[in-house]
Amino acid sequence: MEKERALDFYEKMFLIRKYEETLLALAQNNEIFTFCSSLGQEASAVGVVSALSEDDIILTNHRSAGHLLARGAEPRRCLAEVMGKATGYCKGKSGPLHISVKELGIYLTSTIVGGELSLVTGVGLSLKMLKTNAIAVCFFGDGAACEGIFHESLNLASVWELPILYVCENNQWQAFVHRKETMRIDHISEWAKRYKIPAITVDGNDVEEVYKNTKKAVDSIRSQNGPYFIETYTYRLRGHMEPMDQQEYVDKEELENWRKKDPVICFKQKVLELASAKEIEELENNIELELQRAVHFAKESPYPNLDELTKDVFVV
Amino acid sequence: MEKFTPERAIVEAIREEMERDDRVIFFGEGVATKHYELVKEFGKERIRNVPLAEGIIVGTAVGASATGLRPIVDILFAPFITYAMEEFVNSAGKLRYISGGQFSFPLVVMGMTGGGWCVGAHHNHNIESWFIHAPGIYVVMPSAARDFKGLLKSSIRDENPVFFFIDIGLLHMPGEVPEQEYTTPLGKAKVILEGEDITLISWGKTVYRAVEAAEELAKEGIQIEVMDLMTLKPLDQESILNSVSKTNHLVVVHEASRNCGFGAEIAAIVSEEAFEYLKGPVVRVTGPDAPPPSSYVLEQAFAPDKDKIIAGVKRALGV
């Protein structure tokens, strides 16, 4: 990997990591209510999103910080949204869980597990029928793969040959239940193959691997070969929701093993072979500074006017 | 004026709107099979069969509507929507609000309901009030052939998600339909019979029964104003209040079950907004709190008939 791209990837992964650590500190300090952390899944988000074009449409879920920031969402406006402020991307009506940013192609974020899977077929149909060359990308987890709608979505996308990239971030956890308790298979890509969709499982903690395979998948979809399925095999290093989930139910040895594979730390070692420690430190310092400013911006931002309570229900 | 059935009126509305706007697409269980003439006209891309899976049918419509298409989906029988409540209520109904107004969902879900075919409670269940209670969704339930067409055209053109309920009992009942192009506006009720003594509000098939009751009571000298609501949400509150402030009495008639049926909401609105005009209790004449049965005699007894409406009117008038 060339230096410039490596630094770009690292910058995004570090930003996501620090952003979520910032949120955690705010939550622990009772300055925000709650959020669902994607800590440990940064490589999956950055690897996939970096392989997309500007016109592509992303659908995500409640564990979306990585997808948002990798796509270029401003941390300050994300933070403002988490705090329910008028300057947030959704005017404070989403809060931490379902942030959409239409201008960046992040559409219809749903936090009903599997909701995004039901919507992406429609987005794919639009892109296909309106003769664009764009594709729809749907992020979901192993939990959503256990919803009936997962199977309905893959089946229809396959039958209609829709331009959809399914990205299953298999983080091993379905809220408070380990994946092994709920499914007989290890790789959800096995299910996808049954719907005649090309499907692979990749090391979700390796950003280069994710990027490389996403490029391949995207090329296939743009060549009008129908949907493609990538399972990024990764791990949710934090609990289901912050700050109350203390992960008492998590096997300590498993957690430790995955911590050794921390995608941000591991990738930094690789970047250090391409860039100087000073370069990296400067990049990290800039991000820390940006996040401090973002927190300040969000805190200083006004709350929405109370007349917003009944606005945006209908198109009037 | 030509006379034809709501079944044909619905197809004409869809044909005209598909001709008018390339973004309109139509899919559902057996849609392409049943409407082969539309497939011939508009092609297999725009008229589609789908797997028998309501969740993905409605979800696909929601996603497509937010990204440039204007889907009409036929889920066949209204209770089948229970498989798609997530997609319809959480996504179509809420994602505009949740996103701070970034998205809109111009789509129509059509579903049949009501007694008439003895199909039983899994195919017949008047659930219109569920969607009036849910935010972000419009609810339409016409009674006359001309309004099936005019309201469906308006629903397709509207920028909001619409649940278009089709009363099974009316599907094959011919009515006059204008030959020239027209639409019927959403959110406007229609006074079918004018009267001074009492207002009867209804929608769907019970409108006809209300008219029968009014004609019979006219012989006793009671002048009834019958209003066909047609759109339940947005509600034409102004027309309701105008009528009640003139007649001072109100009976609401619907086939749906009584408990938390839309009649309760109308009664509450009138008692809050027009209490000073009321000279008697607001009376509801409704279906019972039970699943709709299949047996013909029981199904017929489920929806309020003329006699029950007459009894309701007399109770409201205290005569």
CA angle at residue B97 from B91 to B102, to 5 degrees?
Answer: 90
From A113's Cα to the closest Cα of chain B, the distance in A is 10
Q: Does the distance separating the beta carbons of B102 and A90 come in below 8 Å? A: yes
Q: Does the distance separating the beta carbons of B97 and A93 come in below 8 Å? A: yes
Q: Provide the residue ranges of all domains of chain B, joining segments of one domain with +.
A: 2-177, 190-317
Among the CATH numbers 2.60.120.10, 3.40.50.10710, 3.40.50.1220, 3.40.50.970, which is that of A3-296? 3.40.50.970
**Fold match flag (B2-177 vs B190-317):** yes
**pLDDT at position B126:** 98
The burial class, CB within 10 Å (0-12 / 13-18 / 19+), for A71 is: buried
**pLDDT at position B306:** 98
Taking residues B103-126, report their average pLDDT.
97
Q: Does the distance separating the beta carbons of B65 and A122 come in below 8 Å? A: yes
Q: Which amino acid is at A137?
A: V
Q: Which amino acid is at A34?
A: T
Residue B1: pLDDT above 90?
no
What are the φ/ψ torsions at residue B292 (nearest 5 degrees)? Answer: -65, 130
Count of pairs with CB atoms under 8 A, one residue in A, one in B: 148
Query: What's the Rg (C-alpha) of chain A?
Result: 19
What are the φ/ψ torsions at residue B108 (nearest 5 degrees)? Answer: -125, 130
From A125's Cα to the closest Cα of chain B, the distance in A is 6
Q: Which CATH class is domain B2-177?
A: alpha beta
Q: Provide the residue ranges of all domains of chain A, joining segments of one domain with +.
A: 3-296
Task: State the average pLDDT for chain B.
Answer: 98
Chosen for mutation from A101, A126, A166 (greatest number of chain B CBs closer than 10 Å) is A126
From A247's Cα to the closest Cα of chain B, the distance in A is 29
Number of C-beta neighbours around residue B22 at 10 A: 13
Q: Does the distance separating the beta carbons of A152 and B55 come in below 8 Å? A: yes
Catalytic-labelled residue, pool B35, B123, B125, B249: B123
Q: What is the 3-state secondary structure (H, E, C) of chain A?
A: CCHHHHHHHHHHHHHHHHHHHHHHHHHHCCCCCCECCCCCCHHHHHHHHCCCCCCCEEECCCCCHHHHHHCCCCHHHHHHHHCCCCCCCCCCCCCCCCCCEHHHCECCCCCCCCHHHHHHHHHHHHHHHCCCCCCEEEEEECCHHHCHHHHHHHHHHHHCCCCEEEEEEECCEECCEEHHHCCCCCCCHHHHHHCCCCEEEEECCCHHHHHHHHHHHHHHHHCCCCCEEEEEECCCCCCCCECCCCCCCCCHHHHHHHHCCCHHHHHHHHHCCCCCHHHHHHHHHHHHHHHHHHHHHHHHCCCCCHHHHHCCCCCC
- Is B122 one of the annotated active-site residues of the chain? no
Q: Is B49 on the interface with A (CB under 8 A)?
A: no
For residue B231, the SS3 value is strand
Q: How does pLDDT run along chain A (316 residues), one tens digit per residue?
A: 899 999 999 999 999 999 999 999 999 999 999 999 999 999 999 999 999 999 999 999 999 999 999 999 999 999 999 999 999 999 999 999 999 999 999 999 999 999 999 999 999 999 999 999 999 999 999 999 999 999 999 999 999 999 999 999 999 999 999 999 999 999 999 999 999 999 999 999 999 999 999 999 999 999 999 999 999 999 999 999 999 999 999 999 999 999 999 999 999 999 999 999 999 999 999 999 999 999 999 999 999 999 999 999 999 9
Q: Does the distance separating the beta carbons of B58 and A152 come in below 8 Å? A: no
Instruction: Specify whether domain B190-317 bears CATH 1.10.10.10.
Output: no
